[in-house]
Structure 1
């Protein structure tokens, strides 16, 4: 097979790969726009719950936090590839933190942790698209509930007692950085706030019951927000990575086409020379 023909076959293969990568890039872009809408609504829901919590805590102080609380780290990684060092950068944060146990979100991240850490409590497959986030959160909440039961976290006499400290580490698309966020015990940042109202809020439940339900709603909302932010950051990384790969393929294809033309010209010249030589002999 001639060199120009081999190059043409190589170019065809690269164009096929380029088409696949470009489709993946477009899917990432669509997911980013969709997640942007979800995250905006979820972020507002979290703000509303936090504002309600502040009004409540102005008159009903936080319960005493167990000093022996079990510190659990939740790392939100990427389930799929083509997003650079997304998972590796999360692993680097463990060098500055000490957790009694780690819950890994994302199979790839879980596999890396299993090789390096004996403290992995559970590995949960991550979300590929926004619609899978609620399913992943249900699995995560089930895992946290099992930890709570094992640690004696459920106290029927006082639902506000917590012996778990949960910290989520994730890529925050809004800041472009890795963020650590303590979600349990919640609302610790509200303790220094001055009261905004003179009268306590009217409650239809006992304060302890109200706060327990408020924490449940808050955890569900804030975990949704975190997962949307992380998935947005993952798809943004993937978009940048694939754009670079597509551009590289385009540049290589241009170079190969140029080489193919040169080889083809040389082959045509050789064919003409052979024809002329045969005509002279005849």
Structure 2
């Protein structure tokens, strides 16, 4: 009986240590999510500034202010950029992202789709579904790495566009749910062809001073805006990933707490049984 009791007490110590680890992981995830959200205001202000410049460039593009065309080429391939998790303990995060990718693959046809995945955990999960990525990168592990990751993704994206291998780019990513009905939601956003209709040509009394031809200026501004979109998508995905990890750690902590209660109750019962046996042995010794 004493040996069984010692085993249970050892398990209690292990579960308490596990609870401490879970609490630490939850705290780290909360800090990382907060760091990501703190960067969103600057990213969105940057995108708004570029958007205003695009509106002014559109006014210079032609005499009548007509926006340039950006339609998808006939028979062009579609590059789907999926932002998954780099680390574990995120519940069904990767599953939900890849469900959206799978739906796109069924709509477009796998023969027309190239898949680029950021996040090592998503690569293996995609292959299990029969989705083979043409390229993959590691997802950012820290908020300071988000801009660098967006820059690498932009380089891969623009390289494939310049090669003429793709004519449409769709970003599939999670983002925190503002309604708080779920930790995050998954959305597919088309970034190429560029939607110039979002930026009505600016009607300025005094046109801006420019040193580039209007088409070249507009092309460079468009590249900058796409980069801003990638920065926002990567940052939101990183925040959503850590929100999912927080939820997973909360659920794990609740399970650990229940297990600890069960082990504590078992320990008390075994201790009581041990005391009872010792009393019985003591009573027997007194009689003899």
TM over 0.5: yes
- Structure 1 residue 58, shift from structure 2 partner: 4.3
Which residue, 249, 264, 271 being the options, matches 1:257? 264
Q: 1: CA distance between counterparts of 2:275 and 2:72?
A: 84
Q: Residue 133 of structure 1 contacts residue 224 of structure 1 at CA under 8 Å; is this kept in 2?
A: yes
Residue in 2 that maps onto 1:166:
169
Which residue, 160, 172, 182 being the options, matches 2:190? 182
Q: 2: CA distance between counterparts of 1:43 and 1:121?
A: 30
Q: Residue 50 of structure 1 contacts residue 187 of structure 1 at CA under 8 Å; is this kept in 2?
A: no
Give CA deviations for 1:133-183 in whole Å, capped at 9, x if unaligned.
23323432332244234327xxxxxxxxxx631110100215432111111
Unaligned runs of 5+ in 2: 62-66, 179-183
Residue in 2 that maps onto 1:213:
220
Secondary structure at the aligned position of 1:168 is classed as strand
Runs of 4+ off more than 6 Å: none
Q: 1: CA distance between counterparts of 2:131 and 2:266?
A: 54
Q: 1: CA distance between counterparts of 2:287 and 2:131?
A: 82
Residue in 2 that maps onto 1:31:
32
Residue in 2 that maps onto 1:113:
126
Secondary structure at the aligned position of 1:179 is classed as strand
Which residue, 91, 94, 107 being the options, matches 2:101? 94
Q: What TM-score do the two structures reach when normalised by structure 1? A: 0.87
1:1-282 aligned within 5 A = 1-60=2-61, 61-68=67-74, 69-97=76-104, 98=108, 99-117=112-130, 120-151=133-164, 164-175=167-178, 176-190=184-198, 193=200, 196-197=203-204, 200-281=207-288
Unaligned runs of 5+ in 1: 153-162
Q: What TM-score do the two structures reach when normalised by structure 2? A: 0.85
Q: 1: CA distance between counterparts of 2:102 and 2:36?
A: 31
Residue in 2 that maps onto 1:159:
none
- Structure 1 residue 87, shift from structure 2 partner: 0.6
- Structure 1 residue 194, shift from structure 2 partner: 7.1
- Structure 1 residue 55, shift from structure 2 partner: 3.2
- Structure 1 residue 91, shift from structure 2 partner: 1.4
Q: Residue 117 of structure 2 contacts residue 123 of structure 2 at CA under 8 Å; is this kept in 1?
A: yes
- Structure 1 residue 107, shift from structure 2 partner: 1.0
**Would you say how many aligned residue pairs link Structure 1 and Structure 2?**
270
